Structure formats: C-alpha cells, structure tokens
Amino acid sequence: MLKKSGSNKAVYSITPFTLLDYPDKTACIIWFAGCNMRCLYCYNPDIVLGKGKIDFETVLTFLKSRKGLLDGVVLSGGECSIHKNILDFIKQIKLLGFNVKIDTNGSSPRVLKKMIHEKLIDYAALDFKSLPAAFKTITQSNLFAEFEESLTLLMNSSIPFEVRTTLHSALINRSELAAMRNYLEAQNYEGNYYIQHFVNNVPTIGNLEYSEKSLRFENFSTSKINVIFREQL
C-alpha cells in the first residue's frame, strides 16, 4: 500500500492522452522527475533536473477517472525506476485494469527484475545510449553494465519490448551506430531497433551543435535486426 507522504511527490506532470507512445494503445504519460543520467541531448531538462509536483495518490485519482477511456499508462521521465514506492505504485495502476509501459534507461536492473517477476509491466522501451567507449561522455554516468543487465533481463522475459537510440550526429557517427547494431546482434537480440533523431533547436542539458540527419537515408538493417528511423516528436 502506498504511504501518504511528501516523498511520494515523484511525478513532474501528466500528459492525459497519447496515441504515439504506447504501440496500439490509447494511453496517458506519467512524467517522473529526476534521473540518474545527464544525457547531453536530453530534451526534458526541466523534468530531469526538477522536482516532483504531483503525488501518487493524485495520479491514481486521475487514472480512476480514465477507466474505460484509456488502455494503458506510460511511465516515463526522467527515470521512473529510481523512485521509491514505484513497485507499489504500479501495482495500484494494474488493479485499475490498465496496461503499463515503462520508458527506461536500464539503470535499475534489480527493480526491473522485480517488475518482470511480479508481472507489473506489459511493454518496455529500453534506451541504448551508446557503447561503453562513449557512454560516460554522453550520459555523464557509469551505468553501462546496468543497461547491459537490463537488456538481458528483457530478452529472457516474455514481455514485449523495444530498443531505441537517440541519435545526435556529433555524438554517434555512422560507424558507431553500425557498431551498436552489431553489439545488439552479438547479444542475440532480434527484432526492431529504433533510431530517434535528435530534435534541433530545443532546450537540452548539453550545449550541442546542430545535428545532421543524413543517416536516416541509409540501410543499417541485418537479417536479424530491423533498424527503423523514427522521427522524434
């Protein structure tokens, strides 16, 4: 059961409706404040660097009003998995009858393992930031091993999931993107690998130059991995 306290104010804001963020579902997005990475290209600096404004009880009240209107709930951010009481919060969402998708950087494999074991999530989007050589520069963290463990957990589960990378041309070039695809293939990942181009001219954590989008016209797919360029909105 969720404790009623100020510490539950983990949510920055709510997007009440989306058709884009949960495949084949009508959903809302719960944006969690705070993150354990500081990705240079992050376009949610207010959420990542800010504090929560909404407690879990308020979110659950909102979700109760959307029963029968929405299929699912997307937990995004920021990073939802780092928050205290996140597992109990998802249990309450599931009791309302919603499907749950998480957007995660894969930095909390122990929490993810519990989510999988307790059947709390129905879909996951795992952010593949970069290979180890550039990981610390891009994310300002040393959490690649945790990402790798999370990838293995999802691959060994029955939960549908996607792997995705945000691409900034100054941070990841053609050969590095091909190496990331090869890494996934070496891990025996099969399926879609989504590439989201960086959105120019928006506030970000890092002071980045203009990102070129020429790679979207190239074919990076293999017989096992279908590389799909997805426009970032």
Separation CA 161–CA 188 (nearest Å): 14
Mean per-residue pLDDT of the chain: 95
**What pTM, to 2 d.p., does this model score?**
0.95
Domain 9-230 top-level CATH class: alpha beta
Query: Which strand (E) or helix (H) includes residue 182?
Result: helix 174-186
Percentage with pLDDT > 90 across the chain: 91
On the question of pLDDT at 125 being above 60, the answer is yes
Average pLDDT in the 18-37 region? 98
Give me 195's structure tokens. 């590439």
pLDDT tens digit sequence for 63-79: 999 999 999 999 999 99
Asked if residues 167 and 215 have their Cβ atoms less than 8 Å apart, the reply is: yes
DSSP reduced 3-state for 171: coil
Separation CA 135–CA 170 (nearest Å): 14
Q: Which residue carries 């999802």 as its tokens?
A: 154
pLDDT tens digit sequence for 33-66: 999 999 999 999 999 999 999 999 999 999 999 9
**pLDDT at residue number 134:** 97
